[in-house]
Chain A
Amino acid sequence: EAGVAQSPRYKIIEKRQSVAFWCNPISGHATLYWYQQILGQGPKLLIQFQNNGVVDDSQLPKDRFSAERLKGVDSTLKIQPAKLEDSAVYLCASSSSLSPETQYFGPGTRLLVL
């Protein structure tokens, strides 16, 4: 079974630029999560999708961050415009309806904003 795929693995941009991250969850997993992990901290949930609907986006900075999962499969997270404090690893995870408590994480995208 293929795991959660993310791309790119690394991205360096200047502040005020835009950036997008892509995630393809494990096949058949209805729930998809985006987390932000700042160096030295634990992952913080940004947004959770159930199929193509948003379940929780209470911690997503909506003035600059957006995410979509149009067909209920892969997802894109965008930052526009980026700030220095957005430098972090962005993790995507997915879980199935049969075992919703078990999340499978992708390798993450490491973003550096200069």
Chain B
Amino acid sequence: GDSVTQMEGPVTLSEEAFLTINCTYTATGYPSLFWYVQYPGEGLQLLLKATKADDKGSNKGFEATYRKETTSFHLEKGSVQVSDSAVYFCALREWNTGNQFYFGTGTSLTVIP
């Protein structure tokens, strides 16, 4: 079945460091891929998405490229800020399996000044 695997956390970085959070997926067809972010005390928010292979999603300095050959959608940011501290979830949605969203387990990021 469909599934998403993300790198284990927690991740702690210094401000202005480079961030990579790995995400790989298993799907039977051609899913859309997403990154959601959950700031402390808030609900999940869509951060970025990509709907087909080689698409790059970007938002707030974060980027992720849909790589079909490696079934990956790694999240990157060149220079993190304290305000980026949150839990990040990778997710997929595949239209030919009922449109259900599948989420990874989440990666907690803490950025220290």
Contacts and interface: CB of A to CB of B under 8 A. Distances in A.
Given A43-B103, A102-B49, 8 more contacts: A4-B43, A42-B104, A42-B105, A48-B99, A58-B98, A101-B93, A104-B46, A108-B43
Contacts of B46: 102-104
Interface residues of A, number: 24
Main secondary structure of the interface of B (DSSP, over half): strand
B42 A107 contact: yes
Contact of A42 (B32, B45, B100, B106): B106
B51 interface: yes
Nearest to A33: B101
Contacts of B103: 42-44
Given A91-B44, A103-B46, A105-B44, A41 B105 contact: yes
A103 B101 contact: yes
The 3 closest A-B pairs by CB, nearest first: A42-B103, A105-B43, A105-B44
